[in-house]
Amino acid sequence: MRPVRYQVLGPLHAGEGSRAQLGLAVFEDGRAEPCVVVPVPEEAEKDAALLEKIRKETEHAAQLDHPNIVTVFGFAPLEKTSARMVEFADGESLRRVLNVSKALAPRLAARVVIDACTGVHYAHLAGNDDGSALVHGDLRPETILLSFAGVTKVTGYGALAFAPREIGGQRVKGRRVHSSPEQIIGGREAITIPSDVYLLGITFYELLTGVVPWADQGDGFDQAVLSYPLPPATPGLIPEALVPVLERACQKKAAQRYPTPLAFREAIEAALGDDLATTDELSTYLDSLFPGSGAVRAERRRTIDAGIAEFARQQWARRDSKTVPVVQAPPPPQSPQPPPPPPPSGAFQVVKPVTPKQAPVRPPPPPEPIDVEEEEPKKDGSSTPWVIFLLVIVVAASGYFAWSKANAPFESPSQVVRDADPVPEAKVELDAGAPPLAVVIDAGEGADAGAPEVAAAVVVDAGVVAPVALAVTIESRPTVELSIDGAVVGTTPWSGPLPLGTHKLKLENKDLLVSAARTLTVQGTEPITQTFTFEKGTVGVNAPPGAVIFIDGKKQGVAPLANDLSIYEGYHRILVKVGQAQWTEAFSLFSGQRVSFNVELE
């Protein structure tokens, strides 16, 4: 079901030059979901033919439905312009990721590319209206998005009509370095399915090495793309098994490349075997680069939450403005069959008639009580003694319940919230000696937004639900300081109870330069022992003589360094200083990876 209307909320904060905004997509059934509003260029608004072409491309792209493609909702006029409405995938472009990390570990880079291959191959098969393949032709880190759920999504479908080009249809500078040989020669009209394979190959090379092939050639770039072989990478950056795969994907002649993105994906998988990152690992890595507490992610969330809250308020206001007619309920049915619709007046009788009110009110009042005591015939033998007996039993039970509550051992109160849907199954007895657990009566108002997700629950009283905790032991090599869900709990090895669900771990050892984020899922019924082992990678620094080199605030030496630095894997920041001049950059390091920096200080 596609949205029927849209509302702009605020800026997307997608990076320099982006005009995209956050918005709400409102569906026919009343749902509202966040979306991204991408305005068309000003020149397109002045060109009716171009605007119509953009509209048609957008509507065609809206037919694509694949998890590795950003969903296109449609094309809509706004107050001052028109815009494409697309899915808000809650992530960052691959370009922004590379701006922070410079390169990705092979197993992470491969996961990104094979998922992008899957989405692009699907679009080829979905095709154009004339039956030809729907070729992207603009695949590069700027048009590939990584969601914080660890899913790779290709963007740009439906936007190719207004991609900027040079005279003759060729690509402009900035985009030109991500061009296939046939695009260099013939522009957009020359692209084919193998063109997308080439662009995916060039992107894969950049993910592994941190550089675009031949981008440093300047005016000789075109000739390099047409003639030069793929530049050899720094030893250790590209796994040996991937070298022939990349070389074939980036062949000069389209016929010598992999015929489809699917074939390219299969070649990557065959080369790396099981050494491919999972979506969970990719999600954890992105969280380490762009933490949820970061300004951009937090501002996006505030904008979306405020927009949805305002939408809900408007929905309730519209609902309250409508009158609701009173419906007179029929008497209880005499059989187990469902009650029939209310019959015409006089079709049924009650002992004491009730006249329905005619004036509409909100909400409809319950039927007035029917007094049947005077009219009901007396039976042989009075029922009064039985009624008195039952009342005595109820009063006694209530008194015992109150006494037991008053004399129960005191327990520290836990956070309590209401639950409209108590879990009615899986009753268990709680160990009286176990530490108190949070009692949840409602996941609505008052719930702690920062509490860990609870994956399972048990009923301990009518309408009361308590999360289950498991004994967890966390070990590491080397020893690190451990934080769970933002709170420091001690050093490893650490043992304690954790509620079922997903927990964010932070492991740090400032002396050894260990800094890593991990995700731990607590589930099942057995105690859990999780061991994290941190290996080392190397960092090469080429800096002016005399420059002092720091990593994570700890001095590593003075340039020139005799050898590469051996650093534990994880998230780091390098700082190079000469007098008052300094240069700094954040980077991530994986086991066995080598990262190099060429530092130029003014």
Average pLDDT over residues 181-187: 86
pLDDT exceeds cutoff 70 at 71: yes
Name the CATH code of domain 107-289 (choices 1.10.3720.10, 3.40.50.300, 1.10.510.10, 3.55.50.30): 1.10.510.10
What is the per-residue burial (b if ≥16 Cβ within 10 Å, else e) of 524-550?
eeeeeeeebebebbbbebebeeebbbb
Residue 290 contacts residue 297 (beta carbons within 8 Å): yes
Give Dmax over CA atoms of the chain in angstroms. 112
Average pLDDT, the chain: 75
* CATH topology identical between 469-533 and 536-598: yes
pLDDT tens readout for residues 424-461: 443 334 344 444 333 333 333 333 333 333 333 433 34
pLDDT cut 90: percent of the chain above it: 28
In which band, very low, low, confident or very high, does the pLDDT at 260 lie, cut at 50, 70 and 90?
very high
pLDDT tens readout for residues 135-146: 999 999 999 999
Helix (H) and strand (E) counts in the chain: 12, 24
Residue 519 contacts residue 546 (beta carbons within 8 Å): no
Average pLDDT over residues 331-356: 46
Q: Which CATH architecture has domain 536-598?
A: Sandwich (2.60)
Report the alpha-carbon distance of residue 241 to residue 311 in Å, rounded.
53
DSSP 3-state helix, strand, coil percentages of the chain (rounded to 5)?
Answer: 30, 25, 45
- Higher-confidence residue of 560 and 586: namely 560
Which two three-digit tokens encode residue 218? Answer: 């300047």
Provide the residue ranges of all domains of the chain, joining segments of one domain with +.
1-88+305-320, 107-289, 469-533, 536-598
| DSSP 8-state assignment for residue 46 | T
In terms of Cα–Cα distance, which of 78, 256, 115, 93 is closest to 182? 256
- Higher-confidence residue of 394 and 134: namely 134
CA geometry: angle 568, 570, 575, nearest 5 deg:
85
The pLDDT, as a whole number, for residue 16 is 57
In terms of Cα–Cα distance, which of 546, 552, 544, 489 is closest to 516? 552
Average pLDDT over residues 147-170: 72
| DSSP 8-state assignment for residue 296 | H
pLDDT exceeds cutoff 60 at 380: no
In terms of Cα–Cα distance, which of 514, 521, 522 is closest to 492? 514
| Measured CA distances, 294 to 298, 301, 445, 574 (Å) | 6, 11, 26, 20
Q: What is the CATH number of domain 1-88+305-320?
A: 3.30.200.20
* Strand duo 594-598 + 536-542: pairing: parallel
| Measured CA distances, 160 to 142, 169, 437, 563 (Å) | 13, 12, 55, 48
What is the per-residue burial (b if ≥16 Cβ within 10 Å, else e) of 36-75?
bbbbbbeebeeeeebbeebbebbebbbebebebbbbbbbb
The pLDDT, as a whole number, for residue 343 is 46
Q: At a CB cut-off of 8 Å and minimum separation 6, what does 334 contact?
A: none
Average pLDDT over residues 319-327: 51
Which two three-digit tokens encode residue 85? Answer: 């409405």
The pLDDT, as a whole number, for residue 473 is 94
Cis omega (within 30 of 0) for bond into 331: no
In which band, very low, low, confident or very high, does the pLDDT at 272 lie, cut at 50, 70 and 90?
very high
Which residue is associated with the tokens 């951009």?
A: 296
H-helix segments, 4-153:
42-45, 48-61, 94-101, 106-126
Mapping DSSP to helix (H, G, I), strand (E, B) and coil, where does residue 87 land? strand
Phi first, then psi: give them for residue 16, nearest 5 degrees.
-60, 135
The pLDDT, as a whole number, for residue 2 is 65
The mean-pLDDT minimum among 116-120, 230-234, 266-270, 364-368 falls in: 364-368
Highest mean pLDDT among 291-300, 464-473, 526-535, 590-599: 526-535
Report the alpha-carbon distance of residue 304 to residue 22 in Å, rounded.
8
Residue 137 contacts residue 188 (beta carbons within 8 Å): yes
pLDDT exceeds cutoff 50 at 373: no
CA geometry: angle 377, 382, 388, nearest 5 deg:
125
pTM for the model stands at 0.53
The pLDDT, as a whole number, for residue 417 is 36
Report the alpha-carbon distance of residue 195 to residue 74 in Å, rounded.
27
The domain made up of 469-533 has a fold known as Immunoglobulin-like (2.60.40)
Give strand ranges (E) for 64-195: 72-77, 82-87, 91-93, 144-147, 152-154
Average pLDDT over residues 179-192: 86
Highest mean pLDDT among 158-167, 338-347, 404-413, 440-449: 158-167
Report the alpha-carbon distance of residue 511 to residue 228 in Å, rounded.
46
Report the alpha-carbon distance of residue 4 to residue 24 in Å, rounded.
11
pLDDT tens readout for residues 57-70: 888 888 899 999 99
| Measured CA distances, 414 to 411, 417, 436, 441, 448 (Å) | 9, 10, 8, 11, 12
In which band, very low, low, confident or very high, does the pLDDT at 265 lie, cut at 50, 70 and 90?
very high
- Higher-confidence residue of 518 and 200: namely 200
- Higher-confidence residue of 299 and 550: namely 550
What's at 153, amino acid-wise?
A: K
Report the alpha-carbon distance of residue 384 to residue 379 in Å, rounded.
12
Residue 570 contacts residue 516 (beta carbons within 8 Å): yes
The pLDDT, as a whole number, for residue 195 is 94
pLDDT cut 70: percent of the chain above it: 70
In terms of Cα–Cα distance, which of 489, 495, 539 is closest to 234? 539
In which band, very low, low, confident or very high, does the pLDDT at 331 lie, cut at 50, 70 and 90?
low
